[in-house]
Amino acid sequence: MEKYRFTYEDIHRTARDIARRVREGGFEPDLIVAIGSGGFIPARIIRTFLGKPILAVGIAYYDANDKPTDTPRKVQWIEEAERTLAGKRILLVDEVDDSRVTLEYCVRELLRHEPAEVAVAVLHNKDKEKRGALPQDVVRYIAGRTIPDAWIVYPWDAEDIDEHDRLAAGNPRIE
């Protein structure tokens, strides 16, 4: 399977582009919700351009006995903040839309608190069949880039960032 390596600078530019599209689309979020831990870095960069606070949620795919599961489980949620979600415009951020299961789960959980709107933004959407589906309430979905169903290597996962940057120069071309 092909590997796509993105540099931090790639990620920064993609996050800035997402913020621009959020604004140009007329969406003014009240807050950003980052899905941890992959959404932390894109959310933090998007915050620079949108200037809104970030709340974090943690989702895991293992059960209480550390066994892998197919269904997401909350490891962190935003209780104090939940009562403030009602009527708010939320921008939900993650790094990648792969199976869409995590995004669907998080959107459904957020919608229970009757926000004014939940918009979704990801750095990368993998062009593939999705197991999850976004509820119809989600009318804004922004993927920084859409890429083939390949193995993505993010810079924050690099053991050696200089080697990662060198290898990223040889990425397969994204049409």
Q: What residues make contact with a second copy under the rule CB under 8 A? A: 7-9, 12-13, 16, 34, 36-37, 40-41, 43-45, 47-49, 53-56, 58, 60, 74-81, 155-159, 161-162, 165
92 or 134, CB closer to a second copy? Answer: 92
Tokens of 74: 């909350």
Tell me, yes or no, if 63 is annotated catalytic.
no
Nearest to 31 by CA among 85, 99, 111: 85
43 or 138, CB closer to a second copy? Answer: 43
Q: Which amino acid is at 49?
A: F
Q: How far is the CB of 85 from a second copy (least distance, A)?
A: 12
Q: Which amino acid is at 5?
A: R
20 or 131, CB closer to a second copy? Answer: 20
Q: How far is the CB of 113 from a second copy (least distance, A)?
A: 15
Name the one residue in this structure whose structure tokens are 């062009």.
127
Distance between CA atoms of 145 and 108, rounded to whole angstroms? 24
Q: Which 8-state DSSP code applies to residue 131?
A: S
Residues taking part in catalysis: 98
